[in-house]
């Protein structure tokens, strides 16, 4: 495979319908920063948008703020919930909160401390729990997936039977990656069409057997039809087959 520049999921900053009341927005590249050093590793970003009763919008893992996108979302409803599913997907919540001051900002475990340590200007008003709050419990279920510092909340949109994950599963398309990241991704197994659990979560999941079994069985009990991922290609069908393959030996 010839080396190519990394590519995005075009068009970006455009709402793409998945099913009634749920869609995704692919965003620009982000870069991983370690010890204050930005690595030359661009990765794609994706936000999931759910329309709740009363046309209130639930934004999962908000991407970089874009004024045109904000206007498009205003035409769909009121941005009400800005959700950080884990302590690595939160950096743009402050930008969206300033544009939509009436929105609630939801914190995942450890995200407040991480934001403070990295001088990210964001104020969280609510905390996510093991079970969904009344604000969205009628349409969205949730559970906490263990994984050490990479633990995250998984969400399930009942009406469309859509499972929304962040980093638990990655299904990166090799042709969208440049070297040496393409070779590393292939070695990790986290590439399309196979998709695997994020390598940083694998050891913590082994060590947290009881919590792992609880989370995986809960996710499988939802019987999703599709899986939305934050990184890589989503699974548009056969979600239960994918989960049986990825989770089966660990559940």
Tell me 124's DSSP state: -
Using the predicted structure, report yes or no on whether residue 4 has a pLDDT greater than 70: no
- Tokens 């994984």 belong to residue: 147
Using the predicted structure, report yes or no on whether residue 38 has a pLDDT greater than 80: no
Instruction: Quote the tokens at residue 9.
Output: 């999921």
What beta strand segments (E) does the chain contain? 15-19, 22-34, 37-52, 56-60, 78-83, 104-107, 126-127, 140-145, 152-157, 162-164, 169-170, 196-197, 226-228
In percent, the amount of the chain with pLDDT more than 90 equals 88
pLDDT bracket for residue 1 (50, 70, 90): very low
Residue 159 and residue 20 in contact, taking contact as beta carbons nearer than 8 Å: yes
Give yes or no for a cis peptide into 84 (omega within 30° of 0).
no
**Closest to 128 in 3D by CA, of 92, 85, 79, 81:** 85
pTM for this predicted structure: 0.94
- The CA-CA-CA angle for residues 131, 167, 5, to 5°, reads 155
Question: What pLDDT, in 10s, does the model give residues 145-184?
Answer: 999 999 999 999 999 999 999 999 999 999 998 888 899 9
Query: Residue 29 has what pLDDT?
Result: 92
In percent, the amount of the chain with pLDDT more than 70 equals 94
Residue 108 and residue 88: Cα distance in Å, rounded?
9
Residue 52 and residue 83 in contact, taking contact as beta carbons nearer than 8 Å: no
- Kindly state the average pLDDT of the residues 135-147: 98
Summary mean pLDDT of the chain: 94
- Kindly state the average pLDDT of the residues 54-79: 98
- Return the CA Rg of the chain: 17
Using the predicted structure, report yes or no on whether residue 88 has a pLDDT greater than 60: yes
What beta strand segments (E) does 53-93 contain? 56-60, 78-83
Domains and CATH numbers, the chain: 15-247 (3.60.15.10)
Residue 221 and residue 239: Cα distance in Å, rounded?
12
Residue 46 and residue 146: Cα distance in Å, rounded?
22
Using the predicted structure, report yes or no on whether residue 113 has a pLDDT greater than 80: yes
**Closest to 153 in 3D by CA, of 164, 145, 163, 141:** 145
Using the predicted structure, report yes or no on whether residue 2 has a pLDDT greater than 90: no
Count the residues in the chain.
251
**Closest to 227 in 3D by CA, of 188, 195, 185, 201:** 195
């Amino acid at each position: 495979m010839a080396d190519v520049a990394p590519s995005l999921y075009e068009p970006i900053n455009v709402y793409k319908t998945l099913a009634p009341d749920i869609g995704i927005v692919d965003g620009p590249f982000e870069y991983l920063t370690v010890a204050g050093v930005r690595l030359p590793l661009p990765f794609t970003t994706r936000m999931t948008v759910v329309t709740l009763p009363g046309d209130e919008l639930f934004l999962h893992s908000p991407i970089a703020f874009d004024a045109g996108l904000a206007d498009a979302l205003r035409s769909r409803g009121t941005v009400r919930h800005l959700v950080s599913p884990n302590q690595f997907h939160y950096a743009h919540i402050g930008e969206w909160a300033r544009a939509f001051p009436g929105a609630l900002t939801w914190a995942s475990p450890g995200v407040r401390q991480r934001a403070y340590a990295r001088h990210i200007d964001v104020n969280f008003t609510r905390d996510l729990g093991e079970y969904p709050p009344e604000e969205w419990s009628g349409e969205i279920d949730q559970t906490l997936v263990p994984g050490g510092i990479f633990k995250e909340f998984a969400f399930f949109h009942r009406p469309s039977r859509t499972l929304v994950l962040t980093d638990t599963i990655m299904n990166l398309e090799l042709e969208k990656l440049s070297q040496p990241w393409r070779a590393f991704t292939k070695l990790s197994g986290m590439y399309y069409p196979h998709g695997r659990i994020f390598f940083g979560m694998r050891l913590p999941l082994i060590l947290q057997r009881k919590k792992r079994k609880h989370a995986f069985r809960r996710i499988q009990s939802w019987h999703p039809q599709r899986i939305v991922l934050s990184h890589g290609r989503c699974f548009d069908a056969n979600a239960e087959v994918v989960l049986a393959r990825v989770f089966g030996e660990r559940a």
